[in-house]
C-alpha cells in the first residue's frame, strides 16, 4: 500500500514514516511538509492507494482548496484528515465533501499509534464501496443484455383453430456482493409462427452459458430463422441442418466450446401431425388430459448433435400425432435441472419426475395456470436457492371441438 502524507511538523515526518511503512518496501509511505509539493504529488501521480493530510497546513482554507483539487483528480483515493484537538469542529466541511476519516492529534502524540490502523480501515472501506459500485454496474450491464435477449422473444403467440399455445421465459438468478440478486442474461429462446401454408412452427432453443455470448449466440440463430421462413423449410431436419451449417461458421457460437440446442417442430393443424427434429434438446412430452398419462414422444436417441459443433452433422425428423384432449410440452433443460442441496450435501434435481408430477396435478387447470405451475414447482424445489439456469417452456393444448 502506497500512502502520500502532507504534514505540517517536519520533526514528526520520520516518525510517521516509521509507523506507516509496513512490510519490506521502504518507500511505501512518502511524507512531505511543503504544501505545494503535496498538492503536486497528489494531483500528478496515480500511484497512491491512500492519503493522509493535515487539514490546517498552511491554513484551513488553503488545505481545503488542496483537498478539493485532489478529490476532483482522484475521487477514488481515500483521504484521511488529521487535526488538532481544538480544531475538530473544522473537519466538518471536509467530511461532508468526501473525507474518508479523520484522526484528532493529541499533544502527547499518542495518535501516531493509531495511524496505521486508521489508514488501513479507510482503504478497506474504499475498496468495499468500489466493489459495491462494480456490482451495481455488473447488475446494470446484465440487465441491458437480458432486455436485448427478451426483445426477440414473442410476448403473444397466435394459435391455430382447435389449439391453444402459451409460452414463457424466466432468467436464472445469481447473488453478488451483499446478497443482492442479479437476474442473469441467458441463451434460452422460444418462438411460434405460421408458415405460408398455415402450418405453425414451434421451437425452443438454448445456448450454452450465460451473459453476452449466450445472448448473441441465440440472436444469431434467431436472425437465421427469421430469414428463412419459407415453404422449403417445412422439413425440420432440413431446417436444423441448414442452421447448424451456418452456425458452425460463427465464432460467437462455437468458440470456447459453445453450442446451441434446438427443438424445431412444424404442426399441421389439418392433420394434427407434429413433425419435429432435435439438435441435442430434450424431446417433447405429451400428456393425455383424460387419463393424465405423460410420455416422451420419442427416445433421447432421436436427438442429434447440438448446433455449432460439427458442420456436417445429420439430423432426423420424427412425427407424432397430437390427439384431441392432450397437451404437448417443449422445454429447456433449466426446468428439469432445477436442484436443491440437502443438509448432508446430497444433490437432487426436479427432473422428469418433477415435471410429470406437476403436469398430472395441473391437468384440470387452464393452460396458462398449468404453465405457471411448472415454473412455481420447479422453483420451490430449489428451497429458496432459485433456478441456476434460465428456463423456457412452450405448452400446447389440443381441445375437443
Domain CATH code at residue 192: 3.60.40.10
| Region 219-248 average pLDDT | 84
- Residue 141 in any domain: the answer is no
- Residue 145 in any domain: the answer is no
Task: State pLDDT tens for residues 55-91.
Answer: 999 999 999 999 999 999 999 999 999 999 988 888 9
Residues 232 and 275 in one domain: yes
- Residue 138 in any domain: the answer is no
CA 86 to mean position of chain CA atoms:
52
Choose the weakest-confidence range: 6-20, 169-183, 329-343, 374-388: 169-183
| Region 17-27 average pLDDT | 70
Predicted TM-score (pTM) of the model is 0.68
Asked if residue 51 has pLDDT above 80, the reply is yes
72: left (phi over 0), alpha (psi -120 to 50) or beta: alpha
pLDDT value of position 177: 43
- Residue 328 in any domain: the answer is yes
Asked if residue 142 has pLDDT above 80, the reply is no
Residues 276 and 182 in one domain: yes
| Region 104-128 average pLDDT | 89
Rounded Cα distance between 312 and 125, Å, is: 56
pLDDT value of position 310: 94
Average confidence score pLDDT of the chain: 88
Residues 123 and 7 in one domain: yes
Cβ proximity of 59 and 12 under 8 Å: no
Residues 322 and 388 in one domain: yes
pLDDT value of position 250: 87
CA-based nearest residue to 396, from 152, 190, 149: 190
In this structure, is the dihedral angle defined by the CA atoms of residues 186, 151, 351 and 279, taken in order, positive or negative?
A: negative
Asked if residue 174 has pLDDT above 60, the reply is no
Residue identified by cell 436427438 is 303
Rounded Cα distance between 180 and 173, Å, is: 10
Question: Confidence class of residue 107 from pLDDT cuts 50, 70 and 90?
Answer: confident
Q: Domain holding 15: CATH number?
A: 3.40.50.2300
Choose the weakest-confidence range: 102-116, 118-132, 165-179, 249-263: 165-179
Q: What are the backbone dihedrals phi and psi of residue 310, each rounded to the nearest 5 degrees, phi first?
A: -145, 120
Asked if residue 176 has pLDDT above 60, the reply is no
- Residue 181 in any domain: the answer is yes
Ranked by mean pLDDT, the top range of 93-102, 133-142, 227-236 is: 93-102
Residues 19 and 126 in one domain: yes
Domain that holds residue 285: 152-398
Rounded Cα distance between 197 and 176, Å, is: 49
Residues 227 and 360 in one domain: yes
Residues 340 and 288 in one domain: yes
Amino acid at each position: 500500500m502506497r500512502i502520500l502524507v502532507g504534514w505540517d511538523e517536519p520533526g514528526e515526518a520520520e516518525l510517521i514514516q516509521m509507523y506507516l511503512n509496513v512490510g519490506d518496501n521502504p518507500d511505501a509511505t512518502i511524507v512531505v511538509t511543503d504544501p505545494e509539493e503535496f498538492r503536486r504529488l497528489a494531483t500528478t501521480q496515480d500511484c497512491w492507494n491512500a492519503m493522509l493530510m493535515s487539514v490546517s497546513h498552511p491554513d484551513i482554507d488553503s488545505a481545503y482548496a488542496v483537498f478539493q483539487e485532489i478529490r476532483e483528480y482522484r475521487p477514488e483515493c481515500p483521504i484521511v484528515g488529521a487535526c488538532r484537538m481544538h480544531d475538530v469542529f473544522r473537519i466538518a466541511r471536509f467530511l461532508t465533501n468526501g473525507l474518508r476519516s479523520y484522526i484528532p492529534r493529541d499533544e502527547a502524540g499518542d495518535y501516531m499509534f493509531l495511524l496505521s490502523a486508521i489508514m488501513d480501515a479507510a482503504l478497506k472501506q474504499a475498496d468495499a464501496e468500489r466493489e459495491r459500485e462494480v456490482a451495481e454496474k455488473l447488475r446494470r450491464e446484465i440487465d441491458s443484455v437480458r432486455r436485448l435477449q427478451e426483445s426477440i422473444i414473442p410476448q403473444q403467440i397466435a394459435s391455430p383453430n382447435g389449439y391453444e399455445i402459451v409460452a414463457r421465459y424466466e432468467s436464472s438468478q445469481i447473488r453478488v456482493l451483499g446478497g443482492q440478486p442479479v437476474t442473469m442474461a441467458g441463451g434460452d429462446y422460444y418462438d411460434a409462427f405460421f408458415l405460408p401454408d398455415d402450418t405453425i412452427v414451434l421451437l425452443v432453443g438454448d445456448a450454452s452459458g450465460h451473459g453476452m455470448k449466450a445472448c448473441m449466440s441465440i440472436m444469431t440463430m434467431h436472425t437465421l430463422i427469421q430469414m428463412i421462413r419459407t415453404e422449403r423449410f417445412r422439413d425440420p431436419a432440413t431446417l436444423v441442418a441448414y442452421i447448424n451449417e451456418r452456425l458452425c461458421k460463427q465464432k460467437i457460437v462455437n468458440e470456447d466450446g459453445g453450442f446451441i440446442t434446438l427443438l424445431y417442430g412444424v404442426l399441421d393443424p389439418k392433420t394434427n401431425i407434429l413433425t419435429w427434429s432435435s439438435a441435442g434438446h430434450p424431446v417433447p412430452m405429451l400428456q393425455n388430459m383424460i387419463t393424465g398419462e405423460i410420455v416422451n414422444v420419442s427416445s433421447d436417441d432421436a436427438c442429434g448433435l447440438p448446433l455449432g459443433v460439427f458442420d456436417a452433422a445429420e439430423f432426423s425428423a420424427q412425427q407424432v400425432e397430437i390427439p384431441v384432449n392432450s397437451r404437448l410440452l417443449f422445454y429447456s433443460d433449466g426446468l428439469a435441472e432445477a436442484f436443491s442441496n440437502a443438509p448432508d450435501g446430497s444433490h437432487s434435481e426436479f427432473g422428469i419426475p418433477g415435471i410429470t408430477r406437476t403436469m398430472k396435478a395441473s391437468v384440470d387447470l387452464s393452460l396458462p395456470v398449468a404453465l405457471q405451475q411448472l415454473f412455481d414447482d420447479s422453483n420451490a424445489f430449489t428451497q429458496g436457492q432459485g433456478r441456476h439456469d434460465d428456463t423456457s417452456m412452450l405448452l400446447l393444448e389440443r381441445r375437443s371441438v
